[in-house]
Amino acid sequence: MAPTSTSRIRLLHETLRRYLKMNAGDHLDKVIAKTRDEDLAVVLSQMLPRFQQQLFERLPTSERKAGVIVEMQAPFGKEMLEPLPPEDAAAILREMATDDAADIIADLSEDQAQRVLDILDDAEQVEELMTYGEDTAGGIMLPDFVALVANNTAEEALRALRRSADVEMIYYIYVVDDAGSLVGVLSLRKLVAAPPESLVKDLMDSDVISVRTDADQEDVATMVARYGFVAVPVVDDTNKLIGIVTVDDVIDVLQDEATEDILKMAGAGTELGETDGVWSNLRVRAPWLMASSVGGLIAAGVMGTFKETIEAHYYLALFVPIILGLSGNVGTQSATVTVRALAVGQLVHGEKNWRVVRRELAIGIVLGLFFGVLIGGIGWAFAQSFFYGMTIGLSLAAGMIVSNVVGTAIPLVLSRLNIDPAVATGPLVTTSVDILGILTYFSIATLLGAFLPPSGAGG
């Protein structure tokens, strides 16, 4: 079967929408039967709420309903399960991995959550999972895993494995001692290849990396990505094995963290979906715009102090947008590169940081000189005034050099102070660069005005 490409998803979407509009139940059932939960979820997320509801209700089994909910973004699970009778909701939750069920129950209203937990058999395990912080290893771990006892033989271990029908996918087999403490890891392949009488503890690799339940999910994800693991064991503070974090959850965490960085850089929140409603959108975005307003008012105030210069040479105002635009772009470019290099671990700490800042200074100087001469030259020709050309060229060069260094240095400093550097490229920094740029521009104009008598179109 070929992978489900964008064009196939579009076709699926159009087919389902047509059948939903026609209320063609039989046709819908046929399409649903031959479509994977993951693909249905992609299409569902594009649909209007009433179609989502209709399609969800047509899913033939609790298992498929569970499968689709797990693939959807919150709050889909809550929306579908909240209005159901608790028995039906529990039947669906029972089909999910315990960590997914815990996340969705945590989203439900307190009443519905309690009613559902009263019915579920593994309520205790679910409730325990709900106690871990959402962004910790405990919050994303799976409490179902395969563990062998170190003193068993390979044959006993294989027999135990055959019995553990509950566990869908075996990534690694962890080995525990009699107290349940993690002591090693073993691949199923090595176990299969071993002589039946050999002991698990002699086959296992005792250099096993684990994480604590309270480890930050981002650190866990970075580690799994770095070491190329497909799972990592989670232990409590007595080193007792209590779950595993699997690579598919790690991918979700990495994607979410990239999303968070991207959105933060624009001052647009930290999560997609967070801004789905008009009001939540305003709540997330307005503070940054407010910061930008304050910066803009300060810039206006700074410009106001140069009233005489502006009134004398109105042409200067025409080049304000280009000076702010170029300085802002240069600063955003270097800040973006630095923030991302920090996020993927290419820039951590050490002597290299100062080299990076020095290099950006060199780049800023080259860019500043080039664009200073270019735009200054155009300004000179445009206004027929050497004074304008000099003012524009010098301020642009100064603005670009400063922006480039500031854009690089701020994320490095923030990272050193353990503050998320992604905020550094947001509206706050763009605005600071604006204020600095205007101050430089009109100061140079005022200064040069005293030495170089202005002339030309604006004089």
Residues 225-284 that bind a copy of itself (CB under 8 A): 225-228, 230, 232, 247-248, 250-252, 254-255, 258-259, 261-263, 265-269, 272-273, 275, 278, 281-282
Q: Does 36 help bind a copy of itself (rule: CB under 8 A)? A: yes
Closer to a copy of itself by Cβ: residue 114 or 206 = 206
CB under 8 A, 24+ apart: contacts of 223-232: 224/250, 225/250, 225/254, 226/345, 230/171, 230/172, 231/171, 231/172
Instruction: Give, as ranges, the residues between 177 and 206 that touch a copy of itself (CB under 8 A).
Output: 187-189, 192-193
Which lies closer to a copy of itself via its Cβ, residue 120 or residue 315? Answer: 315
Among 98, 408, 430, 440, the residue binding a copy of itself under the rule CB under 8 A is 430
Q: In the numeric block, which tokens belong to residue 343?
A: 């996020």
Residue 334 in contact with a copy of itself, rule: CB under 8 A: yes
Instruction: Tell me the two tokens of residue 431.
Output: 């605005």
Report the alpha-carbon angle 323-329-334, nearest 5: 130
Spatial distance between the Cα atoms of 44 and 64, rounded to a whole number of angstroms:
14
- Whether 432 contacts 399, CB under 8 Å: no
Interface with a copy of itself includes 22 (CB under 8 A)? Answer: no
434 binds a copy of itself (CB under 8 A): yes
Which of 24, 366, 419, 447: binder of a copy of itself (CB under 8 A)?
366
Tell me how far apart the alpha carbons of residues 184 and 317 are, in angstroms, rounded to a whole number: 70
Backbone angles phi, psi at 322, to 5 degrees: -70, -35
Least distance in angstroms from the C-beta of 285 to a copy of itself = 5
In the complex, the smallest distance separating the C-beta of residue 84 from a copy of itself, rounded to whole angstroms, is 25
Which among 141, 115, 116 is positioned nearest to 128, based on CA atoms?
A: 141
Least distance in Å: CB of 416 to a copy of itself? 11
Least Å distance, CB 35 to a copy of itself, is: 12
Q: Which is nearer to a copy of itself, 126 or 183 (CB)?
A: 183
Asked if residue 54 binds a copy of itself (CB under 8 A), the reply is no
117 vs 157, beta carbon nearer a copy of itself: 157
Out of 367, 423, 429, 444, point to the residue binding a copy of itself (CB under 8 A). 367
Give the shortest CB-114-to-a copy of itself separation in angstroms.
31
Taking CB under 8 A as the binding criterion, the range among 55-63, 103-111, 117-125, 315-323 that sits at the site for a copy of itself is 315-323
400-419: which residues touch a copy of itself (CB under 8 A)?
none
CB of 223 to a copy of itself, least distance (A): 5
Q: Are 74 and 273 in contact (CB under 8 A)?
A: yes
Question: Which of 92, 129, 324, 406 forms a contact with a copy of itself (CB under 8 A)?
Answer: 324
130 or 326: CB nearest a copy of itself = 326
Sign of CA dihedral 59, 60, 64, 69: positive
Please classify residue 27 by burial: count the beta carbons closer than 10 Å to its beta carbon, then call 0-12 exposed, 13-18 middle and 19+ buried: middle
For the chain, how many residues are written?
459
- The site for a copy of itself, by CB under 8 A, has a size of 138
Q: Give me the residue label for tokens 């309903």.
A: 65
Min CB(376)–a copy of itself separation in Å: 11
Is residue 350 within the footprint of a copy of itself (CB under 8 A)?
yes
Tokens 């994320």 sit on residue:
411
What residues between 121 and 180 interact with a copy of itself by CB under 8 A?
158, 161-162, 165, 167, 169-171
When binding is defined by CB under 8 A, the residue of 6, 26, 178, 451 that contacts a copy of itself is 6
N-to-C CA span, the chain:
74
Q: Among 123, 124, 141, which Cα is nearest to 132's? A: 141
Least spacing, CB of residue 150 vs a copy of itself, in Å: 17
- Cα 296 to Cα 445: distance, rounded to the nearest angstrom: 20
- C-alpha to C-alpha distance for 135 and 260, rounded to whole angstroms: 13
| Cα angle for residues 69, 75, 79 (degrees, 5° grid) | 75
Q: How far apart are CA 123 and CA 104, in angstroms?
A: 13
Of the candidates 100, 141, 340, 387, which one interacts with a copy of itself according to CB under 8 A?
340
CB of 227 to a copy of itself, least distance (A): 5
68/37 Cα distance (integer angstroms): 5
To a copy of itself, the closest distance from the beta carbon of 282 in angstroms equals 6
Shortest CB 63 distance to a copy of itself, Å: 16
Coil/strand/helix, residue 150: coil
Q: Specify the DSSP class assigned to residue 72.
A: S
Q: Is 215 in contact with 237 (CB distance < 8 Å)?
A: no
